[in-house]
Amino acid sequence: MADEKALIPFEEQRVSFLGEAVTLALANDRVYVPLRPFCNALGLSWRGQFARVKRHPILKHEVKKVRISLAVDNRHSVATCIPEEFFWGWIITLSPSRVKPEHAPKLLWLRETGYRAMGQMYFEDKLKLPFDIDSVELRAEIEPMSLNKQRLQLAVKNQCRRAISIGLPATLTVEQWERSIESFDGLCAYCEERSYAVIEHFIPLSSPTSPGTTIGNCVPSCFSCNTQKGNRHPDDVPNILRSVIDRVREKLQYLEEPLPF
Adjacent-strand bridge partners of 15: 22
Is 5 exposed, middle or buried (CB count within 10 Å of its CB: 0-12, 13-18, 19+)? Answer: exposed
Q: Is 125 left (phi over 0), alpha (psi -120 to 50) or beta?
A: left
Give every CB contact of residue 224 below 8 A, 6+ residues apart in sequence: 188, 191, 194
- Residue 31 has what pLDDT? 82
| pTM reported for the whole predicted model | 0.50
pLDDT of residue 121: 54
> Residue 261's pLDDT is what?
46
Which residues are within 8 A (CB) of 166 and not within 5 positions of it... i.e. 6 or more apart? Answer: 205
Q: Are 28 and 83 contacting, i.e. CB atoms less than 8 angstroms apart?
A: no
- The per-residue pLDDT string of the chain (261 residues; one tens digit each, 9 = 90 and over) reads 544 688 888 778 777 777 777 888 888 777 888 999 888 888 888 999 999 999 988 888 889 999 887 655 667 889 999 988 788 888 888 888 888 888 888 888 888 877 776 665 554 443 334 444 333 333 333 334 445 677 788 889 888 988 998 999 999 999 999 999 999 998 999 999 888 878 999 999 989 999 999 999 999 998 788 888 888 999 999 889 999 999 999 999 999 887 654
Question: What would the DSSP string read from start to end of 163-225?
Answer: HHHTT--B---HHHHHHHHHHTTTB-TTTSSSBP-EEEESS-TTSTT---BSTTTEEEE-HHH
Side-chain-facing half-sphere of 46: CA atoms under 13 Å: 11
Per-residue confidence (pLDDT) for residue 209, from 0 to 100: 93
Angle at the Cα of 89 (from 87 to 95), degrees rounded to 5?
105
